A and B are shown apart, each in its own frame.
Chain A
Amino acid sequence: MSNHHTDRQLAGYHHDPRFGRLLFASLGVHLAIVLLFSGVLLPRFQRDLRPVYHVDLVNLPVKSPQAGRPDARPEPAKAPAKPAPPEPVKASPPEPPKPKAKPEAVKVAKPEPAKPAAVKPKKPEAAQVKASEKPSAAEEKALQEKLQGMQARQQIDDMKRRLDEMAKSDTRHASVPGAPAGMLDGKGTEAGSSYDAWLHEYLKRAWTLSRYQVSRRDLKATVKLAFDAQGNLLDYNFIKKSGEERFDDSVRKAILQLKKLPNPPGSRMEKEIVFNLKDLLE
């Protein structure tokens, strides 16, 4: 009985359609595993490889730089309000009289050269009028050139528009959204860098020293610089030398390049500059 039962069971097993499905499912699963490990089914993550530029950004120095930290006082909110006044100033009538004054001055000073200058712009206008009256082949060409020029302008406008769109679609964000651009220690209202930050960058650029010129990395020299209001270097002296001639010489050469600062400090200025090699590349 039991044997008969077993035979039936086996027969049923062999004829059971579920066996075929199971077999098929098993094959499918194995195939999926093989494909998964071979990497065919894995989604290919493409990294957004944007070009990376190393840029030393040095803003022009301002008298009262604003803070760049989000925890700074809400003064930056006022900052946009302050630059606003210049707009009404620009919109106010003092500007229009300026161009008027200039041509007058030119006419008085050099009446003869002023005439051809005044005639020249008139010529194309006359040509335009003539072209509208008598559309000759040469003038048609001129018109076509103008049209081409307009098309070029349109293309430039299109490109500008695209650039604006690209800028808007840029997914990069500041680590702190809405954080104002400014200095770490800034307490003022102006966007820009502090004079010390600008001077730091300017001096750094003037300083040349190869790592193969010095045998040690613990070198340090302190120099006192004095500038007048126009940015002329009045005096410099080493408060402390490094003791290594090459290093001190490189510092001296950097200072000698600062005979006149391109951004004058506005008043007499004395600074102590510390030169060291803490961040020199190995």
Chain B
Amino acid sequence: MIRYFLLTLVGLALSAGSTLAQIEITAPGQQAIPLAVTRFLPLDGAVRPEIASEVAGVLQSDLDLSGIFRLIDPAAFLSDAQKPGLNSTQVDFGQWRLLGAEAVIKGAYTVKGDQLTLEARLFDTTGRRLLTGRRYLGKTSDARRMAHAFADEVLKSLTGEAGPFNTRIAYISNKTGHKELYLMEVDGHEPTRLTDHRSIVLNPDFSPVGKELIFTSYRAGYPDLYRREINSGREARLSHRKGLNIAGRYRQDGREIALTLSQDGNSEIYLIGTDGTLHKRLTNDWGIDVDANWSPRGDAIAFVSDRQGNPHIFIMDVVGGKVRRLTDAGKYNATPAWSPKGDRIAFSRLEGGRFDIYTIRPDGSDERRLTFGQGSKEHPRWSPDGRFLVYSSDAGGAKAIYLMRADGTGSRRISPAGGTSSHPAWSGPW
């Protein structure tokens, strides 16, 4: 008995001795990665400083928008920034650590005639290793695109998921005096007019499977649904039924489109094929049902209805037809947009005479207001990776396209000056 007691005591003493004091760290001290983006240097061939500054500018803008990084002022860079070596053995990591950089982007370019070769590398200064590297071949006019593509690659390396910077945003602008469909880069560069309907074009949506768009246009005098191939410019009138043919949204497989028709008198949501044939009537209620938006799995739609009085967001199970109300707060909720990951639905709410953007979980919980301050913010749409939201706002006077992170931070205007811009839509990988 005494032996057992002693053994237990010894065991307890040993276990107590082996227990180390724990230190708990409940948050990282730095919540943004200090990143240095160096100016790309010429390897051989022509020296083109404008290409170097364009590439650096795009990378800085994209990576700053991501919110993941704290960019280090290039004025503080030391001699390694001027060294062309792109191997990890050639990089002076000590210099970058001295500046506090945990990651550094270095690169080089070669221009021969109109041909551009861009080499870009991302290094981890703590581990003294290459994280990712890419070589891009193209024309000198592709420099911005290459930089966007590498920014996507940097995000993939550090988060496991590629960024959305090498994509396009479609929007409606009245720059010519008519509301026409435009396309621009994610940072607002190279705006290109796609339509010349000289009428009213509204509500574009990208096909998830090809480079084509659907939109509503009054070109024939009525609000009809059109489809347009972006590269070829070919266009077709997809739905021109009596009354409204508006707010078309591609299903995730790209084979069907949900849109609002008023062919039977009241506005209801229907399902049509990409050839315009009617597949199914989804809603059937006395209220006005509009603005259908697909869940990422394509099994449900979020839409706006005033069937219970004021306009609110509802969710419908497309297979079973079951409808449930999503929003309770506010008196006017509109333009729902389901996030690509399916975890949240963005929408705009009218309060105090202006719209602001909110997000909510599909089960109706955890509603968050994302925008504040002056101006109406409407028509939110998600980036293909769910990191950002694009929307229209008249905070600066005329309506323009803005972009922000999905948590409401980092908002910035992206659409070029001139006219009003609204109804943005974000493409998939370009």
Contacts and interface: CB of A to CB of B under 8 A. Distances in A.
Contacts of B126: 253, 256-257
A209 B67 CA distance: 12
Interface string B365-386: 0000000000000000000000
A246 B68 CA distance: 13
Given A208-B29, A213-B159, 4 more contacts: A205-B29, A253-B102, A271-B22, A279-B27
A271 to B, nearest CB: 6
B90 interface: no
A279 B26 contact: yes
Interface of A is mostly: mixed
B23 A212 contact: no
A56 to B, nearest CB: 8
Contact of A207 (B25, B69, B405): B25
Interface of B: 20-34, 66-69, 102, 124, 126-127, 158-160, 387, 405, 407
Contacts of A280: 26-28, 31
Given A212-B66, A256-B126, A273 B102 contact: no
B68 A208 contact: no
B23 A196 contact: yes
Contacts of B69: 210
A277 interface: yes
Given A208-B34, A257-B126, A272 B22 contact: yes
A250 interface: yes
B21 A211 contact: no
A206 interface: yes
Contact of B68 (A203, A213, A271): A213
Contact of B387 (A203, A208, A212, A274): A212
Nearest to A278: B26
Contact of B23 (A206, A211, A271): A271
Interface string A257-282: 10000000000001111111111111
Nearest to A250: B28
Nearest to A274: B24
Interface in A206-233: 206-213, 222, 224
A146 interface: no
A143 interface: no
A277 B27 contact: yes
B23 to A, nearest CB: 5
A210 B33 contact: yes
B22 A274 contact: yes
Contact of A246 (B22, B25, B32, B160): B160
B229 to A, nearest CB: 35
A279 B29 CA distance: 11
A199 interface: yes
Given A207-B30, A208-B34, A212-B159, A275 B66 contact: no
Interface string A107-121: 000000000000000
B31 A209 contact: yes
A212 B67 contact: yes
Cβ-closest 7 pairs across A and B: A279-B27, A208-B30, A278-B26, A205-B29, A204-B29, A209-B28, A279-B26
A255 to B, nearest CB: 10
A200 interface: yes
Nearest to A213: B159
Contacts of B23: 196, 199-200, 203, 271-274
Nearest to A220: B24
A278 B26 CA distance: 5
A205 B27 CA distance: 10
A125 interface: no
Interface string A225-252: 0000000000000000000011000100
B26 A276 contact: yes
Given A208-B102, A212-B387, A245-B160, A281 B20 contact: no
Contacts of B407: 282
A119 B126 CA distance: 51
Contacts of B21: 196, 271-272
A123 to B, nearest CB: 41
B125 to A, nearest CB: 10
